[in-house]
Amino acid sequence: MVSAYCKETQSIVRINVGKRSNKTLNRVLISLKLSEAKKIYTDKLKNYKFLITKKVHRTKQYATNHIERIHLNYRTHLKRLNRRSICFSRSVVMLLAVLKIYLWG
């Protein structure tokens, strides 16, 4: 799951479910580029270097704490995100439906 978080509004801007490939990452980054984000903080995944310009891309150790905490809350509340549970969702369609209900329902 790849997601974008706005520090000003403290809300999730965009979520995309899938592996952390360029295609999945690019879907989230397109929405950030359209909103003209001034800074984009990421972890140190190598794919980001090719997808984000150096002007706005930052990698800091503590810059992604909020989004990682939100992901932990998702895993705690939604058992479909835990791999070793009986409720784990293998279907991407079902996982997206549950995330939409949880976030925007």
The C-alpha atoms of residue 99 and residue 77 are separated, in whole angstroms, by 11
Would you say residue 105 has pLDDT above 80? no
Domain-wise residue ranges, the chain: 2-104
Would you say residue 40 has pLDDT above 90? yes
Q: In sequence order, which residues have a C-beta less than 8 Å from that of residue 15 and are 6 or more positions away? A: 1, 2, 3, 4, 28, 99, 103
Would you say residue 14 has pLDDT above 80? yes
Would you say residue 1 has pLDDT above 90? no
pLDDT in tens, 75-88: 888 888 888 888 88
Would you say residue 12 has pLDDT above 90? no
Q: What is the CA radius of gyration of the chain?
A: 14
The predicted model scores a pTM of 0.78
